[in-house]
């Protein structure tokens, strides 16, 4: 995704000037180039055709002069000679090289983890294999109750498989949701025929004499029968190629604010990178990285020719930066990558959850946090906002997540919400009912009582009161 989008966006900066157009070659190990990986869940559920997941038509690459090499992998990078060798024997020279090698699904090495029937959920081949199990009504287990695991379980259940999610914590999405939201989600999973085993720790994968999966043993002594197992336990950045090429690697390929690696003329973006100790597995920051690197490379300028040996130190001197009086300068049009707080969205055919910011606190921190909560049990709606010093610092929404972007932006911008605090729980529409309007109605009073720390509101009734007041 990152590589395809970068190639297209960089080419578009010169699309109206053939003389300035940069020759771009896009190399993809997968035969399918530039598809939206996050759309694999609806493909697995049968809601979307794989052909509809492509970000761009082949004609767009052609029109922009992008050469696409599909189904081939880069075997080696010679950073001194600035050339790469492909697994089909080709050798290509480069002026600038962008690594967007992505990540690989993590596989926990439980006993028998290589048995036939153990899968991950990462690409089209995985989707094809898993759909085959579902079409036969097989019994499957998903290890991991995160977003990907839940989406896979629901999709396979909808396709005819008997599914159970195995999660080691006390409730699913425990890093993104609070307990009330998770309980609503788990109840919906049950209604959809997806089983759930929480606080469940895997001991070993069971297999038969033919080396096929036949179950999963848990540390509490239980053994769950299964025909196949899906591991949805996170991803690992693909760094092997960078490491063998002498490029600095930690957990990911180390980059600076402008996507430079430690090697001259080599850049990296996407799930393969690490910036100041942070890894990136969400679409939003990856798109930001693409946008940043486009600003860096769109003019094709080489402004210097020295490099630092230690990228982690703050004194990086890269080959396309200026050094004036010992100070590093970059062109004004370069836009640095800035990591922002992330939000999570889970949307599985009528089941929606959203979270942003900080939602978990130790006992000491919890004493300084104020919560605004509303529940509509008849609609399975739940909202919880976390406030500190009149700033929104976290939000959890279940059922109606339409105000997720609004709350997320308030968190990112660190907005003082004092003037909209009384209506904040009702969402953006009510916060944008100008406070001036309410203040100009001195004879109208809307009395909605809040507790000091846990403000439980019947959203529907309170909203009606506000509408009547207007």
For the chain, 470 residues long, give each residue's pLDDT as a single digit of tens.
899 999 999 999 987 666 556 789 999 999 999 999 989 999 999 999 999 999 999 999 999 999 999 999 999 999 999 999 999 999 999 999 999 999 999 999 999 999 999 999 999 999 999 999 999 999 999 999 999 999 999 999 999 999 999 999 999 999 899 999 999 999 999 999 999 999 999 999 999 999 999 999 999 999 999 999 999 999 999 999 999 999 999 999 999 999 999 999 999 999 999 999 999 988 989 999 999 999 999 876 333 223 333 333 333 334 565 544 455 678 888 999 999 887 888 767 678 999 999 999 988 888 999 999 999 999 999 999 999 999 999 999 999 999 999 999 999 999 999 999 999 999 999 896 454 233 333 333 333 333 334 444 444 444 443 444 34
**Quick one: residue 193, left, alpha or beta (phi over 0 = left, psi -120 to 50 = alpha)?**
left
CA distances from 255 to 69, 98, 418 (A): 26, 12, 39
Residue 341: the pLDDT is 80
Listed residue (273, 234, 282) closest to 106, CA to CA: 234
Residue 456: the pLDDT is 45
* CA angle in degrees (0–180, nearest 5) for 270-144-398: 85
Helical residues (DSSP H) of 147-261, grouped into ranges: 147-158, 179-191, 240-244
Listed residue (183, 223, 182) closest to 206, CA to CA: 223
Q: Are strands 139-143 and 162-166 parallel, antiparallel or unpaired?
A: parallel
Rounded to whole angstroms, the Cα distance separating 442 from 470 reads: 12
Q: What do you get for the CA distance between the two ends of the chain, in Å?
A: 47
Rounded to whole angstroms, the Cα distance separating 244 from 250 reads: 13
């Amino acid at each position: 995704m990152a590589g395809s989008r970068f190639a297209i966006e960089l080419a578009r900066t010169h699309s109206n000037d053939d003389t300035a157009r940069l020759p771009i070659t896009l190399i993809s190990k997968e035969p399918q180039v530039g598809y939206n990986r996050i759309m694999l869940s609806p493909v697995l559920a049968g809601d979307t055709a794989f052909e509809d997941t492509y970000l761009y038509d082949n004609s767009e690459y052609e029109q922009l002069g992008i050469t696409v090499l599909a189904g081939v992998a880069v075997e080696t990078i010679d950073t001194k000679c600035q050339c790469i060798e492909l697994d089909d024997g080709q050798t290509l020279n480069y002026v600038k090289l962008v690594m967007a090698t992505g990540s690989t699904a993590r596989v926990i090495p439980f006993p028998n983890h290589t048995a036939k029937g153990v899968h991950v959920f990462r690409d089209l081949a995985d989707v094809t294999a898993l759909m085959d199990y579902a079409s036969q009504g097989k019994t499957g287990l998903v290890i991991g109750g995160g977003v990907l695991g839940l989406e896979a379980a629901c999709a396979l259940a909808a396709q005819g498989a008997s599914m159970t999610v195995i999660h080691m914590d006390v409730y699913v999405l425990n890093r993104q949701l609070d307990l009330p939201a998770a309980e609503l989600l788990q109840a919906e999973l049950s209604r959809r025929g997806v089983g759930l085993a929480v606080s469940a720790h895997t001991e070993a994968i069971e297999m038969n004499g033919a080396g096929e999966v036949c179950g999963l043993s848990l540390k509490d002594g239980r053994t769950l029968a299964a025909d196949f197992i899906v591991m949805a336990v996170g991803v690992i950045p693909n760094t092997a190629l960078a490491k063998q090429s002498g490029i600095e690697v930690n957990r990911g390929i180390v980059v600076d604010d402008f996507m430079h690696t430690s090697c001259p003329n080599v850049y990296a973006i996407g799930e393969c990178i690490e910036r100041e100790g942070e890894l990136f597995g969400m679409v939003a920051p990856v798109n930001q990285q693409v946008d940043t690197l486009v600003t860096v490379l769109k003019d094709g300028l080489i402004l210097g020719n020295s490099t630092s040996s230690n990228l982690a130190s703050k004194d990086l001197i890269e080959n396309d930066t200026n050094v004036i009086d010992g100070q590093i300068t970059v062109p004004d049009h370069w836009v640095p990558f800035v990591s922002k707080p992330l939000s999570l969205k889970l949307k599985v055919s009528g089941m929606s959850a959203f979270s942003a910011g900080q939602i978990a606190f130790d006992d000491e921190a919890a004493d300084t946090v104020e919560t605004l909560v509303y529940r509509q049990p008849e609609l399975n709606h739940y909202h919880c906002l976390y406030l500190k010093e009149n700033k929104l610092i976290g939000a959890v929404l279940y059922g109606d997540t339409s105000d997720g972007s609004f709350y997320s932006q308030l968190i990112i911008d660190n907005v003082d919400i004092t003037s909209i605090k009384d209506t904040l729980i009702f969402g953006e529409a009510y916060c944008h009912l100008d406070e001036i309007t309410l203040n100009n109605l001195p004879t109208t009073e809307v009395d909605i009582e809040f507790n000091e720390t846990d403000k439980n509101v019947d959203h529907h009734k309170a909203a009606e009161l506000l509408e009547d007041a207007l």
